[in-house]
C-alpha cells in the first residue's frame, strides 16, 4: 500500500491536537467540527484530499452509513463526480431486495440494523467506502460484507480519522481493501491524542 494513502493531513492533525477532547483512553471528541457541528469549508478540503487519493482507483460510487458518514461521503462523491449510496440505520424503510446487518452500538448501547437497497448497488461496479471514524471497524466490515454480497468491488476504504490502536485497521485489511486515512490516532493518554505525523 502506498504511504501517500495514509499521509497525515496537517490541518486535521493540528485541529485534533489543539481542540480534541479526550475522555478516558478510548474516546476522542471532535464533534464540534467533524460530525455534529460541521464546518463545510474544512470538510471540503478534507474531501478533496481523500478524493485525490481515491481517484486513481477509478471508483464509480461512494458507499457510507448514516449519519456521520454522509457529510464526508457526499463531498468526496461530489469531488469524484460519482453517486453516493448510504446505508440507513435504526428503523429503515428501503426498497427490496435489501441487504442488512445488525451491529452493536458502542455509543448508544444495544444494537441497530443497517440496511442498503440492493437496487442502488449495480453488480460489477467499483465503490469506495468513506466514513468519518475508523475504530473497531464494525460499520466498515458490515459495509464491506454487504458490498460483496451485492457483487460490487470495494477498491478502498477511506476515513478522516483512524484510531490505529483499535482493531478496525486489521478488520478492513482482512478483506484485502487498502485504507485511506487523513489522521491516525496512535493512543489517547492523559487527556491527549497522540497522532502519527
Written as nine digits, the cell of 80 is: 469524484
* Position 43 pLDDT exceeds 80: yes
Confidence of residue 103 (pLDDT cuts 50, 70, 90): low
3-195 maps to CATH 3.10.310.30: no
Tell me how far apart the alpha carbons of residues 49 and 185 are, in angstroms, rounded to a whole number: 18
Pick from 141, 29, 195, 79: nearest CA to 157: 141
Helices (H), 114-181: 138-149, 168-173
- What does the angle CA 80 – CA 85 – CA 89 come to, to the nearest 5 degrees? 140
* CA angle (167 as vertex; 4, 148 as ends), nearest 5: 75
Residue scoring higher pLDDT (14 or 115): 14
Rg (CA), the chain: 16
Calculate mean pLDDT across residues 149-171. 95
Query: pLDDT-derived band of residue 97, with 50, 70 and 90 as boundaries?
Result: low
Residue boundaries of the structural domains of the chain: 3-195
pLDDT digits (tens, 9 = 90+) for 21-39: 998 888 899 988 888 899 9
Amino acid at each position: 500500500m502506498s504511504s501517500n494513502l495514509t499521509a497525515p493531513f496537517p490541518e486535521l492533525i493540528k485541529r485534533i491536537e489543539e481542540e480534541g477532547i479526550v475522555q478516558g483512553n478510548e474516546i476522542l471528541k471532535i464533534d464540534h467540527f467533524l460530525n455534529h457541528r460541521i464546518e463545510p469549508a474544512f470538510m471540503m478540503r478534507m474531501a478533496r484530499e481523500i478524493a485525490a487519493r481515491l481517484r486513481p482507483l477509478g471508483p464509480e460510487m461512494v458507499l457510507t452509513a448514516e449519519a456521520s458518514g454522509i457529510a464526508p461521503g457526499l463531498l468526496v462523491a461530489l469531488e469524484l463526480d460519482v453517486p453516493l449510496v448510504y446505508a440507513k440505520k435504526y428503523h429503515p424503510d428501503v426498497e427490496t431486495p435489501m441487504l442488512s446487518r445488525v451491529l452493536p452500538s458502542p455509543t448508544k448501547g444495544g444494537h441497530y440494523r443497517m440496511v442498503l437497497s440492493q437496487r442502488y448497488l449495480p453488480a460489477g461496479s467499483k465503490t469506495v467506502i468513506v466514513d468519518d471514524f475508523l475504530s473497531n471497524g464494525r460499520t466498515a466490515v458490515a459495509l464491506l460484507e454487504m458490498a460483496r454480497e451485492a457483487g460490487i468491488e470495494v477498491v478502498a476504504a477511506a476515513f478522516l480519522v483512524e484510531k490505529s490502536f483499535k482493531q478496525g485497521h486489521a478488520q478492513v485489511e482482512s478483506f484485502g481493501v487498502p485504507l485511506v486515512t487523513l489522521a491516525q490516532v496512535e493512543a489517547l493518554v492523559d487527556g491527549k491524542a497522540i497522532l502519527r505525523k
